[in-house]
Structure 1
Amino acid sequence: MTEEQHLREYTKVLKAHLPRHFFEPVPARMIYLPIFLALFALCAWGIVATPYILLKLLLSFGIGYAFVGMGFLAHEILHGAVTKNPVLRSVTGTIAFVPLMVGARLWRKWHNVEHHGNTQHPHDDPDAMGALESAIQRPLVKWMFKQLPALRSAFLFFSFTFWFTLHAHMMLRRFLPDFKPNERPVVVFQAILPVLVWLGVLLLVGPLNFVFVFVLPWLMANFIAMSFIATNHLLNPITQTNDPLLNSLTVRNPRWLEWLTLGFGYHIEHHVFPVLSPKYAHVVAAKLKELWPERYNELPHWKALLYLWKTPRLYRDHRNLIEPTTGRLFGTLGFGLNDSKVFPNRARVAKSRRKAADSRTSNAER
């Protein structure tokens, strides 16, 4: 892997290879919002109407999909990939983020400005993981990293069920002082609005039905969203320069699943052109791989999650992750992270088998 390049170096070259309409909003994508809302309403009605728990559970999965779909759509809308109208963008983005309980104005500050502007910067990216030196200064984090790696990984994946919403409320505390005094009431209102909406739903459907109408779908939506978000950057190196081919990862799924998740896995493409509609992301991906094949990071979604399970979440330096209980180092993507590093036992077995096969071939030739 070569040294860091700035985002501008990619966009300048790519714009010469891509049609101009790629950089315009795609209003037709807004049709997903009423579809997801209708799916929620239909499944919620079925949950309330049926006495059968298994059927309630099945319908709850339908709502869970609607919730995560609305989250992915909110991400598109608030980047301006669906509409340029600021009022429509704010209203529809607010509605689409109600299931995950995130405020639209906060998201634009936290995600669009801070995360995209400082991706994988060790201090300035609000979504980046910490380095060993800073982590051990916090007692809870220090205690957590003394636990067995498998236990930590289990907790990490368990935390996916609530982390997106929790992290959003942590970002509210962090960034609220950065807003102008006249903006803060809107930011606070958008944070409170989802709570009021779901309290109203609780009163309307009752506690048991609320578990199936909101709680289980919310857990499912958080988990699916975080299964993408956690793999977007946490296997990549830390960068001082905003280099999306170095600090981001595209994860691939079967085409039908990429369609159901609105193309959210095309994350390098999103960081190169944040306002680009996912409708065109596959074209940008092909061009990126053609122009910078040695820099492009892509993994199957399942393998990225497996790497996430097998590697620690602390950086020893900009290029390496460290397991604090043993001191073992793991390279990051582009800097040595591969199957042989993540699965050393498997690699040794494969190497031993190759040697045995070569020996048998050599003996046979003699």
Structure 2
Amino acid sequence: MKEYQSLSWYAARIKPHLPKEAFKPVPSRLLGGLAFLVVIVAGFLAVGLLELNLWLNLLIAFVLGACYASLGFLGHEILHGTVVRKPWLRDLLGAISFWPLCTGPSLWRKWHNMNHHVHTQDEHKDPDAWITAEHLEKNKLVRLMYRIPFFIRATFSLFSLAMTFTVHSSRMFKVYIKDFDPRNRPKVWLQLILPWASWIGLLFWIGFTNWIFVFLLPLLIANFIVMSYISTNHRLNPLVPVNDPLANSLSVTVPKWVDAIHFNFSYHTEHHLFPSISPKYYPLVKEQIKQRWPERYHEMPFLQAMIALFKTPRLYYQQNELVDPRAGNRYGSLGHGLDPNNISYQNPGEALPTSEKPKNKDV
């Protein structure tokens, strides 16, 4: 990887080549959200009113989970201001879209827009950045976790994606609630409480068994889908001193129909470069990037990225490497020696000394 460049450095060279309409809101994106809401209502009615067998209920739960995830992707788009611009309408539609994931629009904009995007892969400031090797020394729980054999750890991490977004969202609430103006905190609390209250109220209305199929299982499925993308977005990339979206982000490739129902969330490098334009135009951004900096751009099939995540540890060492402290195995990161087609490691011959173990935040 050559020297890092800032986000604005890339944007200044691409923006003149994008159509003017790319920088305008695209309200028609809401039609997709409406379609998912119709499917969700139909799923609720089918589970609540029909006496379906277990397998049909499980199928409906999977469809509902996929819809919840897609609404989350749309909510992400809405809260970046690329669908509607009026703040009250943006927040209302964002709240509806994130309702199944129980994340409020004010928290999301604070956590995601104002911190993750501004400080992407900064080991101290990005709330979504993975931990670094100095952290082991400071956290007994993390030290215990990294004593577990790598394969067991990797398997647990894969299955834990089904809970991670919900858990991390709760953690972000605790981190950022104190940063809100005291006058706005009641609104932020309300945005947290109302979704959970509605889902818990639904439990008492339709009964525990039906609730499992319309909320609990779909929530786990939605978590897994959303976190599968979020995990591939940055966790194979290095930590960086400069917010360079071509260095710190990864775009994955999926079938076109998947891009359609996930609102082009796979174009993640493009999103970090132009978060204020509609994902509808990200294919044009990708063309511009690949024409100018093909050697810098990171892209791979989604499944390959997930396999690479499974085969590499989630602990940074000296920013550019991923390390398994139990065995001392060190892997490169994207742009720094990691080959997704042939994942291998260097073993210096011993586990990391205590003074060289993890520092940062958990996702």
Which residue in 1 is equivalent to 2:8?
8
What's the offset of the Cα at 1:49? 2.3
Which residue in 1 is equivalent to 2:245?
244
Mark the runs of 5 or more structure 2 residues left unpaired by the alignment. Answer: 346-363
Instruction: Describe the SS at the equivalent of 2:138.
Output: coil
TM-score (norm 1): 0.92
What's the offset of the Cα at 1:32? 2.0
Which residue in 2 is equivalent to 1:107?
108
TM-score (norm 2): 0.93
Q: After superposition, where does 1:345-356 map in structure 2 within 5 Å? A: none
What's the offset of the Cα at 1:201? 1.4
**8 A Cα contact 2:304 2:340, kept in partner:** no
What's the offset of the Cα at 1:202? 1.1
- Calculate the aligned-residue CA RMSD, in Å: 1.1
What's the offset of the Cα at 1:15? 0.8
Kindly provide the amino acid, as one letter, of the partner of residue 178 in structure 1: D
Q: Structure 1 CA distance, aligned partners of 2:7 and 2:341?
A: 31
Kindly provide the amino acid, as one letter, of the partner of residue 45 in structure 1: L
Kindly provide the amino acid, as one letter, of the partner of residue 66 in structure 1: C
What's the offset of the Cα at 1:157? 1.0
Instruction: Describe the SS at the equivalent of 1:125.
Output: coil
Q: After superposition, where does 1:1-366 map in structure 2 within 5 Å? A: 1-51=1-51, 52-339=53-340, 341-343=342-344
Mark the runs of 5 or more structure 1 residues left unpaired by the alignment. Answer: 345-366
Q: Structure 2 CA distance, aligned partners of 1:298 and 1:114?
A: 24
What's the offset of the Cα at 1:33? 2.3
Deviation string 1:22-44 (CA, Å, 9 cap, x unpaired) is 11111100112221111111011
Kindly provide the amino acid, as one letter, of the partner of residue 237 in structure 2: N
45-54 vs 240-249, which deviates more?
A: 45-54
79-88 vs 42-51, which deviates more?
A: 42-51
**8 A Cα contact 1:161 1:219, kept in partner:** yes
What's the offset of the Cα at 1:146? 1.1
**8 A Cα contact 2:331 2:344, kept in partner:** no
Instruction: Describe the SS at the equivalent of 1:99.
Output: helix
Deviation string 1:149-195 (CA, Å, 9 cap, x unpaired) is 11111111111001101101100000111110011111111011111
- Aligned-pair identity in percent equals 43
Q: Structure 1 CA distance, aligned partners of 2:157 and 2:137?
A: 18
**8 A Cα contact 1:50 1:56, kept in partner:** no
What's the offset of the Cα at 1:116? 0.3
| Pairs aligned (count) | 344
**8 A Cα contact 2:164 2:223, kept in partner:** yes
Kindly provide the amino acid, as one letter, of the partner of residue 156 in structure 2: F
Q: Structure 2 CA distance, aligned partners of 1:214 and 1:117?
A: 33
**8 A Cα contact 2:305 2:340, kept in partner:** no
**Where in structure 1 do 4 or more consecutive aligned residues deviate above 6 Å?**
none
Q: Structure 2 CA distance, aligned partners of 1:178 and 1:251?
A: 34
Instruction: Describe the SS at the equivalent of 2:210.
Output: helix
Kindly provide the amino acid, as one letter, of the partner of residue 19 in structure 1: P
Kindly provide the amino acid, as one letter, of the partner of residue 16 in structure 2: A
Deviation string 1:227-256 (CA, Å, 9 cap, x unpaired) is 000110000000111000000000111111
Q: Structure 2 CA distance, aligned partners of 1:293 and 1:286?
A: 10
**8 A Cα contact 1:110 1:175, kept in partner:** yes
Kindly provide the amino acid, as one letter, of the partner of residue 144 in structure 2: W
What's the offset of the Cα at 1:199? 1.4
101-110 vs 28-37, which deviates more?
A: 28-37
Kindly provide the amino acid, as one letter, of the partner of residue 141 in structure 1: V
245-254 vs 30-39, which deviates more?
A: 30-39
What's the offset of the Cα at 1:84? 0.4
Q: Structure 2 CA distance, aligned partners of 1:259 and 1:83?
A: 19
177-186 vs 331-340, which deviates more?
A: 331-340
**8 A Cα contact 1:117 1:242, kept in partner:** yes
What's the offset of the Cα at 1:55? 1.3
118-127 vs 149-158, which deviates more?
A: 149-158
What's the offset of the Cα at 1:136? 3.1
Which residue in 1 is equivalent to 2:351?
none
Q: Structure 1 CA distance, aligned partners of 2:341 and 2:269?
A: 24
Instruction: Describe the SS at the equivalent of 2:17.
Output: coil
Greater relative contact order (Cα < 8 A, sep 6+): 2
**8 A Cα contact 1:330 1:341, kept in partner:** no
Kindly provide the amino acid, as one letter, of the partner of residue 298 in structure 1: E
**8 A Cα contact 1:27 1:82, kept in partner:** yes
